Amino acid sequence: MAWNLFSILGLAVAVSFHLSGIAWSEYIPVDYSPLTSHQLDTTQLTSADYFRSWLTDVFEPVVLQQYQSSTQAEWDFETNITEATSDASLEGAEGAANATRISAQIAGKFDLSNSQDVQMQRVWRSLKVVGDAALDPVEFDELNRLITNMSTIYSTATVCFDPTASVLQWSSSNPTDCSAQQQKPINPDLQDFMANSTWEADKRRYVWEAWREVSGKQVRKNYIRYVELKNNAAKLNGYADDGELWRSDYTDDSTGYHDSDFLKDLDDLWLQIKPLYDQVHAYVRRILIQKFPEEYISPTGPIPAHLLGDMWSLTWIDMLSFTQLFPSKPLLDVTAEMKAQNYTVDRMFRLSEQFQIDLGLIPMPPEFWEKSQFVKPTDGRDVFCSANAWDFYRPGGVRIKMCATVSMSDLLTVHHEMGHVQYFLQYASQLVPFRSGANAGFHEAVGDTFALSIGTPSHLAYLGLLKNITNDRESDLNYQFATALDKLVFLPFAYIMDRYRYDVFSGKIGTDRLNQGWWDYASKYQGIAPPTPRGEEFFDPGAKYHIDADVEYMRYFIDYVIQFQFYKALCDAAGHAGPLYQCDINKSKKAGTLLSSMLSLGSSQPWPIALEKITGSRRMSAAPLLDFFQPLIEYLKTVNQHNDDVIDGTGVTPCLSIDVTGKSGRRAIPTTYLLKRMHYAGAVLDSPNQLMNVVPDFTGLNGFD
């Protein structure tokens, strides 16, 4: 699901192409002499017109070559993980860094601080921010090797597990007698297992713990050094820490939108969304208490994270089979029908292209179909399976890397990634520094807006994948609830991914609290807790790819808010009448024209102006999201009140953990875990708060020491 691109020459490139059937190539260095030998007219260094001519005539030809060479090497690595391709990708990253440094040095000779050409002034300022390339070559190489190492650990890690055998047969640290067939990678095996609603809680717990043992725990030391180097680079760019540098993608001096404004907007957006999330959380918690009585889930506190149908609890959609509001109605999951109709992954991509064409958008170029990786290779190569879209800055040079399977979930992911590619094609005529989204969240939101329309019952019926469609109240509420389990519950996860890293970069969360800091945020915002004790020897955030791969994540929080703003605007343009959740923009040329007017801007205008272009407003707002879910909000309020559910299980429980004494000293143990153990021992405790008055001796407690 991640979009990879230079951010105005500041970030390492991860966009490239795959020469199918040809041997993996080495990184090809670029000749910088046309850039370095060009003599500037010192009498014109305050002229925006002169700067523009340098940009188009001198800068762009060299930089485009560098992009293409670096991205070739990066694609080769991500689609064939070997030592040789890793080394080549690192050489490519260093080449990109050199281009960045050289461009910054030359841009620094200009002075457009008083220019009336705001557009060229924005480019000038951005070129002077070199990102990680500000590090000296030795530290830059070290940083990239750390990121490569962490990403490789994630992508090649396996858990020894046979879901048909006893969960106690192996321990994750000593996988005895583990055959190659029993070594399961995260994608698709472990994720598919966590999504299977029929598996017992103890097996879920084993897989949940084991994945964190072989992934996050293994990168902890590297991550600490990574933070040091990222902060060093940020300071060399004039920022307090790397969190502030990341946030600079969303701020703009020309519009007076500063770092503090962005942080406040994030807080305000979450506060708008939280009441609805709390209602969904309370409802799901009650259903889980009924399904997993042996887990002793507190009716007033956080939910054990291993029970939510996803390795990271970022989506709960795979629990829909037993949480659906009205079980007598058919599930809104057309996976079985897709398989019955002999769908292929290629057909899923063709459907997505046709949807865009019917809106009047740009078709995919031939090279997209010839060079993309749609499915996991079967020739034994290790690859990065995280889905992403690639732009390599030449006509028709776009593609997608994915390990897709035939499923409704991947059908929606395909539309998401194809949205990125459409954005690439739309802004291809812009100057190189403007060939990016208005901000990173915009790039994510385009495809998700498509997916909102594709996922409606009416569109699935149009595709022939949903039979006997009805628009009765119960079916509508089921659809909204399914959408909430996928999109709404993702928002607090997306929020904490970078709120946590902002605090790590700033030092607010020290290296002695890396894991505790993560779970503090997960408890407060997601309302979840680990199923077993998690000490500082673990690094559970590192069990997520984007942490290891140095991918900023607030883009996804913004995406999941503004996609509803985009959706409402396009539905209005299409002339939709009726509830927002019933809108399908299929075949609306007016909606396509409106979307193109924003996409074609790239980043040539500040993002508030791009937002205004499509929505009529310069402010991010959760109002369209809440409008989409309004019937669900009212229904859950009534149901939860009727069942006396405690609303706001996200951080209101004062006692989320308790310090206890074991053989290895005092440690904080999750109250969900303690309640379960004491419940089995015959204690009668209804709330984690009651543990505040209990001082048990947990010396020798299984799973504590």
**Residue positions forming the annotated binding site for Zn(2+):** 416, 420, 444
Those residues whose C-beta lies under 8 Å from the C-beta of residue 160, and which sit 6 or more positions away, are 170, 172, 175, 178, 182, 183, 184, 210
Q: Where are the beta strands (DSSP E) in 277-428?
A: 303-304, 388-391, 398-401
Catalytic residue list contains 459: no
Going from N- to C-terminal start, the domains of the chain cover 158-214, 657-693
> Between β-strands 303-304 and 528-529, what pairing exists: parallel, antiparallel or unpaired?
parallel
Which uninterrupted H or E stretch holds 259?
Answer: helix 259-291
307: pLDDT confidence band, cut at 50, 70 and 90?
Answer: very high
Closest alpha carbon to 603 in 446, 447, 427: 427
**Residue positions forming the annotated binding site for chloride:** 250, 555
176: pLDDT confidence band, cut at 50, 70 and 90?
Answer: low
Over residues 297-314, mean pLDDT? 94
- The catalytically annotated residue of 74, 94, 209, 417 is 417
On the question of pLDDT at 668 being above 50, the answer is no
pLDDT of residue 624: 98
The angle formed by the CA atoms of residues 552, 13 and 376, to the nearest 5 degrees, is: 85
**Residue positions forming the annotated binding site:** 250, 416, 420, 444, 555
Q: Where are the beta strands (DSSP E) in 243-320?
A: 303-304
Over residues 653-663, mean pLDDT? 42
119: pLDDT confidence band, cut at 50, 70 and 90?
Answer: very high
b/e per residue 325-341 (b: at least 16 CB within 10 A)? beeebeebbbbebbeee
Residue 332 and residue 403 in contact, taking contact as beta carbons nearer than 8 Å: no
Closest alpha carbon to 423 in 456, 445, 452, 453: 445
Task: Please state, rounded to an integer, the average pLDDT across all residues of the chain.
Answer: 87
Which uninterrupted H or E stretch holds 344?
Answer: none
Residue with tokens 């078709």: 363
- The catalytically annotated residue of 18, 306, 443, 546 is 546
On the question of pLDDT at 685 being above 80, the answer is no
Residue with tokens 């007598």: 328
682: pLDDT confidence band, cut at 50, 70 and 90?
Answer: very low
2: pLDDT confidence band, cut at 50, 70 and 90?
Answer: very low
Q: Give CA 322 to chain center in angstroms.
A: 26
Q: Is 148 exposed, middle or buried, given 0-12, 13-18 or 19+ CB atoms closer than 10 A?
A: buried
Over residues 504-533, mean pLDDT? 97
Those residues whose C-beta lies under 8 Å from the C-beta of residue 511, and which sit 6 or more positions away, are 224, 227
Residue 23 and residue 88 in contact, taking contact as beta carbons nearer than 8 Å: no
Over residues 36-42, mean pLDDT? 96
On the question of pLDDT at 230 being above 60, the answer is yes
On the question of pLDDT at 457 being above 70, the answer is yes
Residue 662 and residue 701 in contact, taking contact as beta carbons nearer than 8 Å: yes
Joined tokens for residue 442: 């915009």
Catalytic residue list contains 295: no
pLDDT higher for 5 or 510? 510
As a whole number of angstroms, the longest Cα–Cα distance in the chain is 86
- For 595-650, the pLDDT digits (tens) are 999 999 999 999 999 999 999 999 999 999 999 999 999 999 999 999 988 887 66
pLDDT of residue 31: 92
Over residues 163-169, mean pLDDT? 58
Residue 266 and residue 554 in contact, taking contact as beta carbons nearer than 8 Å: yes
Residue 571 and residue 624 in contact, taking contact as beta carbons nearer than 8 Å: no
- For 46-80, the pLDDT digits (tens) are 999 999 999 999 999 999 999 889 988 898 999 99
Residue 172 and residue 207 in contact, taking contact as beta carbons nearer than 8 Å: no
Residue 619 and residue 634 in contact, taking contact as beta carbons nearer than 8 Å: no
Kindly tell me the sign of the dihedral angle through the C-alpha atoms of 478, 482, 487, 488. positive
* Percent of the chain with pLDDT strictly greater than 70: 86
pLDDT of residue 561: 98
Residue 592 and residue 359 in contact, taking contact as beta carbons nearer than 8 Å: yes
* Percent of the chain with pLDDT strictly greater than 90: 72
Closest alpha carbon to 122 in 601, 449, 527: 601
Residue with tokens 């321990």: 171
Residue 294 and residue 201 in contact, taking contact as beta carbons nearer than 8 Å: yes
Spatial distance between the Cα atoms of 640 and 34, rounded to a whole number of angstroms: 68
pLDDT higher for 71 or 529? 529
- Give how far Cα 647 sits from Cα of 112, 183, 398, 655, Å: 54, 41, 46, 17
Lowest-confidence pick of 201-215, 270-284, 342-356: 201-215
pLDDT of residue 665: 42
Over residues 536-546, mean pLDDT? 96
* 327: phi then psi, degrees, rounded to nearest 5: -60, -25
Over residues 165-172, mean pLDDT? 51
The angle formed by the CA atoms of residues 447, 618 and 568, to the nearest 5 degrees, is: 45
Prediction pTM value: 0.86
Q: Give CA 211 to chain center in angstroms.
A: 19
Residue 433 and residue 126 in contact, taking contact as beta carbons nearer than 8 Å: yes
Those residues whose C-beta lies under 8 Å from the C-beta of residue 578, and which sit 6 or more positions away, are none
On the question of pLDDT at 251 being above 90, the answer is yes
Q: Where are the beta strands (DSSP E) in 392-501?
A: 398-401
Those residues whose C-beta lies under 8 Å from the C-beta of residue 243, and which sit 6 or more positions away, are 498, 501, 502, 503, 505, 506
Lowest-confidence pick of 45-49, 491-495, 654-658: 654-658
On the question of pLDDT at 702 being above 80, the answer is no
Residue 368 and residue 349 in contact, taking contact as beta carbons nearer than 8 Å: no
On the question of pLDDT at 9 being above 70, the answer is no
- For 411-452, the pLDDT digits (tens) are 999 999 999 999 999 999 999 999 999 999 999 999 999 999
On the question of pLDDT at 675 being above 90, the answer is no
On the question of pLDDT at 14 being above 90, the answer is no
Query: Which residues are bridge partners to 304 per DSSP?
Result: 529
